[in-house]
């Protein structure tokens, strides 16, 4: 039995009358790729934002490695090893690919009040830049300004930046959103290659991706965890089909 890396108990978040997260319980095992699916408006991003500390729940608790993190701020959680990618691509489009990555690397090693030496030549960057770029297949793009990358490459860069510093939990919020099929294949390969070395919470619409990658799937409807099990069982479950898959079984 693998260890539990992240545990959520009785999480509650409401916006006025709308309950975005209702009495939600969730356990993510170490080393798993744990997918989070659900129809639009099911509260997936709200949940992710509570896990990363962008917003705080009204009640309930969140544990990471058995330590309570419910009230820790986003950057504090980042330092504990929880990294995320955003649903809308968040990279620095005015910097080059290498500078983007260097920024992520530098953020892991002390302060940045170094005014003189070129950012790409500091020790930690020299040691880590190449393999950080190689991991997401972007070495050949290093000198290019990030705004010139294709959509898929921007996603790869963002995932690569999240991977710097070897996080233990990587939260990917709809990494495939708005990508062509070629990009989806590339990114799926990347995620598959990370399997085992890092625990991943994958929020995703693309069912093919989810069922091919995930060890465990949680179905979220109206902010509630209605079902959590292996991909096979989720696929066969009647309740899930009516609640969510019903409209997309033909896909």
Partner 1 sequence: MNPLFRKYFCITVVAIILAILPIAASALGQEYYISLFSRVLIYAIAAVSLDLLLGFSGMISLGHAAFVGIGAYVVGIFFYHSAEMEPLFIHPFVVQGSENGLIVIPLAVLVSAIFALIIGTLSLRTKGMHFIMITLAFAQMIYYFFVSLEKYGGNDGLSLYSRSTLPGLDLGNDLQFYYLCLVLLALFLFFATRLVNSRFGIVVRGGSNNERRINALGINSYFYKLVCFVIAGAGAGLAGALLANQTEYVSPGLMHWTLSGELMVMVLLGGLGTLFGPVLGAAVFLLLEEFLAMYTEHWMLYLGPFLIFVVIFAKRGLYGVLVGGEKSNG
CB of 184 to partner 1, least distance (A): 23
Both tokens of residue 100?
A: 């983007």
Query: Is residue 142 a contact point for partner 1 (CB under 8 A)?
Result: no
116 near partner 1, rule: CB under 8 A: yes
Number of residues that bind partner 1 (CB under 8 A): 33
**DSSP reduced 3-state for 221:** strand
User: For 159, what's the count of Cα atoms within 13 Å in the CB-facing half-sphere?
Assistant: 29
Tell me if 163 sits within 8 A of 190, measured CB to CB.
no
The CA distance from 186 to 111, in Å, is 34
| 107 is a site residue for partner 1 (CB under 8 A) | yes
Query: For residues 76 and 150, which CB has a smaller minimum distance to partner 1 in the complex?
Result: 76
CA nearest to 153, candidates 128, 127, 133: 133
Applying CB under 8 A, the span of 28-36, 102-110, 191-199, 230-238 interacting with partner 1 comes to 102-110
Residue with the two structure tokens 């939990």:
169
Among 3, 114, 233, 236, contact with partner 1 (rule: CB under 8 A): 114
Contact 10, 25 (CB under 8 A): yes
Q: In terms of Cα–Cα distance, which of 170, 223, 190, 242 is closest to 26?
A: 223
Site for partner 1 contains 174 (CB under 8 A): no
Q: Is 44 strand, coil or helix? A: helix
Closest-CA residue to 141 (of 184, 174, 85, 97): 97
Piece of the chain touching partner 1 by CB under 8 A; list 111-119, 182-190, 206-214, 227-235: 111-119
In angstroms, what is the minimal distance from the CB of 102 to partner 1? 6
CB of 3 to partner 1, least distance (A): 25
Are the CB atoms for 200 and 35 separated by under 8 Å? Answer: no
* x-or-dash string of contact with partner 1, 216-245, rule CB under 8 A: ------------------------------
**156 is an interface residue for partner 1 by CB under 8 A:** no
Of the candidate residues 119, 184, 224, 241, the single one contacting partner 1 (CB under 8 A): 119
Residue 75 binding partner 1, by CB under 8 A: yes
Closer residue to partner 1 (CB): 120 or 177? 120
Joined tokens for residue 119: 């950012």
**Interacting span for partner 1 (CB under 8 A) from 91-99, 206-214, 221-229, 236-244:** 91-99
The residue to which tokens 């693998």 are assigned: 2
Helix (H) or strand (E) holding 37: strand 33-37
Strand partners, 216: 34
Applying the rule CB under 8 A, the residues between 6 and 65 that interact with partner 1 are: 52
Residues contributing to the site for partner 1 (CB under 8 A):
52, 74-75, 78-79, 84, 86, 90-95, 99-100, 102-104, 106-108, 112-120, 122, 145, 161
């Amino acid at each position: 039995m693998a260890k539990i890396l992240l545990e959520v108990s009785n999480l509650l978040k409401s916006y006025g009358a709308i309950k975005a997260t209702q009495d939600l319980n969730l356990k993510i095992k170490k080393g798993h790729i744990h997918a989070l699916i659900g129809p639009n408006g099911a509260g997936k991003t709200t949940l992710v934002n509570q896990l990363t500390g962008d917003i705080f729940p009204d009640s309930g608790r969140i544990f990471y490695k058995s330590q309570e993190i419910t009230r820790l701020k986003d950057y504090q959680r980042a330092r504990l090893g929880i990294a995320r990618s955003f649903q809308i691509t968040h990279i620095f489009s005015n910097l080059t690919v290498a500078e983007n990555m260097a920024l992520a690397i530098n953020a892991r090693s002390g302060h940045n009040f170094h005014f003189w030496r070129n950012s790409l030549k500091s020790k930690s960057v020299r040691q880590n830049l190449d393999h950080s770029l190689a991991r997401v297949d972007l070495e050949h793009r290093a000198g290019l300004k990030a705004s010139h990358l294709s959509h898929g490459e921007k996603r790869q860069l963002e995932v690569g930046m999240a991977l710097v510093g070897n996080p233990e939990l990587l939260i990917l919020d709809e990494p495939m959103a708005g990508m062509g099929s070629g990009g989806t294949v590339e990114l799926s390969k990347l995620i598959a290659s990370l399997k085992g070395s890092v625990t991943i919470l994958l929020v995703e619409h693309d069912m093919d991706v989810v069922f091919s990658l995930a060890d465990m799937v949680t179905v979220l409807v109206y902010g509630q965890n209605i079902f959590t099990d292996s991909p096979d069982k989720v696929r066969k479950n009647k309740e899930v089909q009516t609640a969510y898959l019903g409209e997309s079984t033909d896909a």
